[in-house]
Chain A
Amino acid sequence: MCGRMRLTDRFLVAVLCGAMVSAATGDVSSESAVIDRIGVTNAAPSGGLLDAFMFYSVATAIVVSAVGVCLTKNIVRMAVWLFVCLGSVATAYFLLAANFLGAIQLIVYAGGTLILLIFGVMLTSKSPWVRFDAKWGEVLAAGAVCVAMLVVLSIVLRGTTWQPASQVVPGVAVADLGVKLLTAYVVPFEVAGLLLMIVMVGAAHLARQDK
């Protein structure tokens, strides 16, 4: 039973390994890129063959895993695809020179939120293979609406010309992020702290055994 893997399982394992490798390489290359950029420029990134290759591989990983999330019926496979998707988005953050945010994405999202979701799956199903299928009409309507939305968004995005920043600025460090968070954004920061405390109390109340 367990000796034979289904084809989709093999594909999933291969994609997972590829995502991990790409995440690792993206981390290393973006680190060296940041060392190069600090003190030189952080304005428009230089277009190169390597940049294009990195972007297209990360974009492929994001798109494939997102489509995997929406097309999979099994909730456990959905969670695994979501893990691949979150890792790929973190790699995209590294490519966009947002290293701290990429690390936060991996730690909080892939490490915390996803584990929480998997706990939710385990606590709310009699068997992990339980599934509730939508009606075919609903799936067709939702697919049509989503594809139409995607087409319209793509047309609008391709037709818009942005004004890219031209000034040369030094690279950002994590310290800048902290300073800005405690000066310009101190009110949202405190509100977020209050919200997290309310959520903690609320989650403990919701999960209480004796009502």
Chain B
Amino acid sequence: MLTIGLTHYLIVSAVLFCCGVFTMTTKRNAVGILIGVELVLNSAALNFVAFDRYLGPGRIDGQIGALFVVVLAAAEAAIAVGICVNVYKNLSTIDVDKATQLRG
């Protein structure tokens, strides 16, 4: 119990993942869904770093994977916020249930 192993980090990461999925499925606000995606991406990156530390220390492949996760999350957030602002401009709401047509 006192010796912290890989399983401890993986379980924390699993909790993070499940909270992210719950946020994505229950929120109606598009920015809220985006926040859920960030939680899921963070859990994946935490898994990468934990595997890197415990299974292959010194090889830093996992850290590079987590680095790419951070880059992709930043890019995804920029585009998604741009889309949210456009949806709000066209429909004057950001409720994802109201956005039912593709044509702006």
Which A residues are closer than 8 A to B by beta carbons? 42-45, 47, 49, 51-52, 55, 59, 62-63, 66-67, 69-70, 75, 78-79, 82, 85-86, 89, 92-93, 96-98, 100-101, 104-105, 108-109, 112-113, 116-117, 119-121, 123-125, 131-134, 138-139, 142-143, 145-147, 149-150, 153-154, 157-158, 160, 162-165, 169-172, 176-177, 180-181, 185, 188, 192, 195-196, 199-200, 202-203, 206-207
Contacts and interface: CB of A to CB of B under 8 A. Distances in A.
Given A89-B16, A109-B73, A181-B64, 5 more contacts: A47-B4, A116-B74, A153-B11, A162-B7, A164-B55
Interface in B1-50: 1-12, 14-23, 25-32, 34-36, 38-39, 42, 45-46, 49-50
Nearest to B51: A162
A47 B71 CA distance: 33
Interface in B36-79: 36, 38-39, 42, 45-46, 49-50, 52-58, 60-61, 63-64, 66-68, 70-75, 77-79
Contact of A163 (B46, B55, B77): B55
A199 B72 CA distance: 10
A66 B15 contact: yes
A89 B9 CA distance: 11
Nearest to A55: B4
Given A116-B81, A120-B81, A172-B58, A70 B29 contact: no
Across the A-B interface, the 5 shortest Cβ-Cβ residue pairs: A169-B58, A47-B3, A132-B28, A206-B82, A66-B19
Contacts of A44: 54, 57
A150 B18 contact: yes
B104 to A, nearest CB: 8
A172 to B, nearest CB: 5
A21 B39 CA distance: 22
Q: Which interface class (under 10, 10 to 19, 20 to 34, 35 or more) fits B?
A: 35 or more
A73 to B, nearest CB: 9
Nearest to A82: B35
Contact of A85 (B28, B39, B52): B39
Contacts of B46: 89, 92-93
Contact of A196 (B1, B38, B75): B75
The A interface, classified by DSSP as helix, strand, loop or mixed, is helix
Contact of B78 (A45, A157, A199): A199
29 contacts: A63-B15, A75-B29, A78-B32, A82-B35, A85-B39, A96-B49, A96-B50, A101-B70, A108-B74, A109-B74, A112-B74, A113-B73, A113-B74, A116-B77, A117-B31, A117-B77, A119-B81, A124-B94, A138-B25, A138-B26, A142-B21, A142-B26, A143-B26, A157-B10, A163-B55, A169-B58, A172-B60, A172-B63, A176-B60
